């Protein structure tokens, strides 16, 4: 009996090592965004500082359990002649983890790309307790992270089916949020928005989900958000998005 149990344990260990080896091989073979990204994490202190209204977006359904090493962001076609520096930003909804820095798109790549610095993250284990939908990611074209307001947002990719768009907002605890995305020649798409998110919401406190039309053109979309604050006048914000 003892010999059988040892054999089973050895088999499980070999199986785990094989899966880990395959994951590392797959990650190493994929082109990635290269550059310095500063990661900060603390369970006891909020390290994430709320910034603008749009915090991040997923195209495709986010994973149930977050593996930060597998983070991929969309880089659209037709960008080969642009400045290839982009600002990467990510934060958990509770604000305990944040990552930010300038990275560079590899030449001749127009696809979903991994993030080299996150492949070496020290926080893989604590971040695995998060649902992917509570991890807001975005990428914006810029020479540095001093980004112009008009710079387009690029989404994290949540899977092979990219017909769903989920946008995370910092509404500053608005009493109501609504949002619409539009593209030239395509009917407007109204989002289904949530403001009463379960759990701690410091970096963002609202999400809107959109079902993208099929077929559609890859390229620039306009996102218009309207929110009613607890006090003061109604707020209107517009954002440029680059989507698949």
pLDDT, tens digit (0-9, with 9 covering 90-100), for 189-230 = 999 999 989 888 999 999 999 999 987 888 899 999 999 988
pLDDT for the residue numbered 167: 98
**Which pLDDT does position 111 carry in this prediction?**
77
Residue 50 has pLDDT above 90, yes or no: no
Banded model confidence at residue 62, pLDDT cuts 50, 70, 90? very high
Strands 32-35 and 112-115, bridge-based pairing: parallel
Q: What is the pLDDT of residue 9?
A: 54
Count other Cβ atoms within 10 Å, centred on residue 68.
24
Report the length, in residues, of the chain.
244
pLDDT at 79: 52
What residues have CB less than 8 Å from 170, skipping those under 6 apart? Answer: 50, 51, 52, 53, 54, 55, 203, 204, 205, 206
pLDDT: is 85 or 13 the higher one? Answer: 85
24: confidence class by pLDDT, cuts 50, 70, 90: very low
Mean pLDDT of 121-130: 96
Q: Is the pLDDT of residue 234 over 90?
A: yes
CA angle, corner 140, sides to 137 and 141, nearest 5? 155
Contact call for residues 154 and 139 (beta carbons, < 8 A): yes
pTM equals: 0.83
Is the pLDDT at 119 greater than 90? The verdict is: yes
Query: Of 223 and 173, which is predicted with more confidence?
Result: 223
Position 17 confidence tier, pLDDT thresholds 50, 70, 90: very low
Euclidean distance between CA atoms 2 and 118, whole angstroms: 41
């Amino acid at each position: 009996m003892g010999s059988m149990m040892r054999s089973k344990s050895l088999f499980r260990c070999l199986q785990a090592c094989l899966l880990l080896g395959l994951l590392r091989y797959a990650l190493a073979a994929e082109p990635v965004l290269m550059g310095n990204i500063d990661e900060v994490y603390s369970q006891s202190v909020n390290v994430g500082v709320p910034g603008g209204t749009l915090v991040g977006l997923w195209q495709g359904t986010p994973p149930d359990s977050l593996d930060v090493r597998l983070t991929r962001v969309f880089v659209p076609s037709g960008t080969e002649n642009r400045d290839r520096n982009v600002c990467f930003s990510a934060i958990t909804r509770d604000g305990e983890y944040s990552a930010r820095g300038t990275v560079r798109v590899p030449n001749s790549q127009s696809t979903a790309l991994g993030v080299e610095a996150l492949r070496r993250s020290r926080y893989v284990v604590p971040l695995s307790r998060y649902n992917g939908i509570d991890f807001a990611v975005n990428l914006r074209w810029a020479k540095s992270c001093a980004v112009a307001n008009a710079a387009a947002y690029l989404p994290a990719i949540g899977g092979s089916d990219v017909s769903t768009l989920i946008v995370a907002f910092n509404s500053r605890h608005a009493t109501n949020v609504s949002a619409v995305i539009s593209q030239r020649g395509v009917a407007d798409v109204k989002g289904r928005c949530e403001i009463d998110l379960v759990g701690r919401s410091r970096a963002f406190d609202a999400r809107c989900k959109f079902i993208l039309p099929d077929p559609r053109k890859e390229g620039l979309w306009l996102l218009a958000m309207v929110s009613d604050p607890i006090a003061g006048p109604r707020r209107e914000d517009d954002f440029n998005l680059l989507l698949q």
